[in-house]
Amino acid sequence: MTGPSETHEDGYDCHRDGGPYAGVASFLTQVAAERPRLAARHRVELHAIAPWLDRTARPAAEEEPIRFHPARRTACLAYGAAEFVTAWADTLKNPVTVRFDHVGDADETTRELLDALVRAEPSTLRLDLRDGGSPRRAAAEPTPEETRRALGDSLARGFYHHAARTARRGRATVTPDGDLRHWWAFTTGLATALAALEQAEEALDLYHEARAVTDDPKITTSAAYSTAMLYARHLPTAGQDPGRARHWLERALDLATKLDDPRQRTLSTVFYEQGLALLDARDGEHARALRLIDDGLARLAAVLRPGERPQDLARLRHNRAQVHLAMGDRDRALADLDTVIAHDPDNCEYYVDRAALYRAAGRSRAAIEDYGTAIRLGPHLPEAYYNRAVLQQERGRTARARADLERVLAIEPGHLDARIALVNLLVERGALDEAEAEARAGLEPAPEDPALLCTLGLIRSERGDLTEADDLLTRALAGDSELVEAWTNRAAVRFERGDVAAAVTDLDRAVALSAAPVPRYNRGKALVRLGRLEEAARDFADALTQPGLDRALRRDLRAELARCRRA
């Protein structure tokens, strides 16, 4: 068979003027045409990257989303697309070279996907990445209406770098005096993109600018609400201010009462009150938050036609589920989430939340199923893979757990919890070489991370290098003096090196920080070595009172306690 590059003489043009995924989307389209069954298994990510592959979809901007995708979603899309291409490449009889032009001027989404392909390294696929390429025609200057549609599409699809560039280009072509409608669309679109890209301070300046140039009620109302959300959620932690957020929410609600359209007044008021409910819930005022949400649902029911705006209703019920959960009412939270999913079955976030409830209730199989659905819809959510891995390991399915953890790290190499979980899994299997390689890979971008240093210290102690193990564990404690595992592990190293008194000192710290039985058991063993049998017996007895002891540890504790009492 022939590969896509063999029918595309000039290579795939990746210049950012072609928009998000320029070049790579065309390549994926050709691969999908050759392997439709394979493409069907990756339809979520392929439809997100190349929407023309989904003949039933409306333009994303027409969906009027009440929430936006997180910026990191593109990394998940890139992973899924690379997995698709790798599966295709594995079917090729002969190696294929695919050429991509203007990579140096590509949109961030394109570069991210190409990077994922490079990391995947399919053996039968060679990527020819060129900064230059065939000559390009100058892009035609779009009209404000076209620019606005392009901006809305990029925001709805979660392509924020491109959205920010588009919005800045649009703002350069209009003024608030000459074309307020388009100027505001470009301004609020730019602010939305910047907030998603963790540049919320600049977004805040844009809303201040909007208030300075117009008193249009729709604009000032929207700007007030958006300002509130920046203070509540998007500004860096030091800049978040619940008091200011509440002030701007109350300002938005006051302005909403002046809107001419009574239906829009109701919709806006209910929507803005959800912000107050969020702040109330954070303040522990759960009953007040619940009243706001219930009242909002009742008012929406009065103005919406049957089947209208199901996602809005789902969002309020999702908010209510979170409040029920915070109040300790899991049954009501689960009932709300069941209703939410019935109304909005394609939202991965809801499945993640329901899976967490199932997990807390001990319903592991249902939780695993919901995490799988979230991964399919997300697609490839790192947190869903990670949580599913934890459940798989609890059920003794270590191969599945390892596969999920490796997927997390392929999508998000800096996911420390997944890295540590994978290292610990490998240690339990006795695969110390692999475990050490994973731990050191995690330390490259975070060389002083206490948890990773602790884990690597454990590995080095298992391999008999007690000096390096002691050093690593000491560095871990310098970064986190409350890391119980590091105190416990360093104590074990020092005990093995013959410094029993130092081991007891470390275990004193571990016991002070945790009621877990293992530090007490270890300290008891060290105290026996020092001849302090009464203290050792107290440790063994205290450890035996802790819940959840496994059978082997319980047996050892009883044996040690009996020996102390006989002595």
Q: Which residues contact 20 (CB under 8 A, 6 or more apart)?
A: 107, 109, 110, 154, 157, 159, 162
Please give the pLDDT value at position 426: 95
- Contact residues for 224 (Cβ-Cβ < 8 A; gap 6+): 248, 249, 251, 252, 255
CA-atom Rg of the chain in angstroms: 28
Read off the pTM.
Answer: 0.85
458 within some domain = no
Residue that is last in its domain, among 129, 162, 180: 129
Of 129, 144, 175, the position where a domain reaches its end is 129
Residue 524 maps to a domain? yes
What pLDDT was estimated at residue 343?
Answer: 86
Is pLDDT at 7 greater than 50 in this prediction?
no
**What total number of domains does the chain contain?**
2
Greatest mean pLDDT among 64-68, 150-154, 548-552 lies in 150-154
Residue 399 lies in a domain: no
Q: What one-character-per-residue DSSP string does 289-335 give? A: HHHHHHHHHHHHHHHSPTTSSHHHHHHHHHHHHHHHHHTT-HHHHHH
For 521-542, the DSSP string reads HHHHHHHHHTT-HHHHHHHHHH
Q: What is the pLDDT of residue 2?
A: 43
Q: Is 561 within 8 Å of 540 (Cβ atoms)?
A: yes
Q: Name, in order, each residue with C-beta under 8 angstroms of 393's C-beta and a sequence gap of 6 or more.
A: 401, 421, 425
pLDDT tens across 51-61, in order?
999 888 666 55
For residue 106, the enclosing domain spans 4-129
d(CA 195, CA 542): 51
Domain assignment present for residue 533? The answer is yes
188 belongs to a structural domain = no
CA distance 422 to 439: 9
Residue 54: inside a domain:
yes
Is pLDDT above 80 for 62?
no
**Residue 399: which pLDDT band, with cuts at 50, 70 and 90?**
very high
Residues in the chain, total: 567
Instruction: Give pLDDT tens digits for 534-556.
Output: 999 999 999 999 988 889 999 99
- Specify the higher pLDDT residue, 138 or 557: 557
Residue 358, amino acid: Y
Cα–Cα distances in angstroms (integers) from residue 350 to residues 357, 386, 467, 468, in the given order: 11, 17, 48, 46
Tokens of 242: 């619940």
Which residue among 129, 158, 173 closes a domain?
129
pLDDT higher than 60, residue 124: yes
Query: Is a pLDDT exceeding 70 seen at residue 297?
Result: yes
- The per-residue pLDDT for 8 is 43
Percent of the chain at pLDDT > 90 equals 86
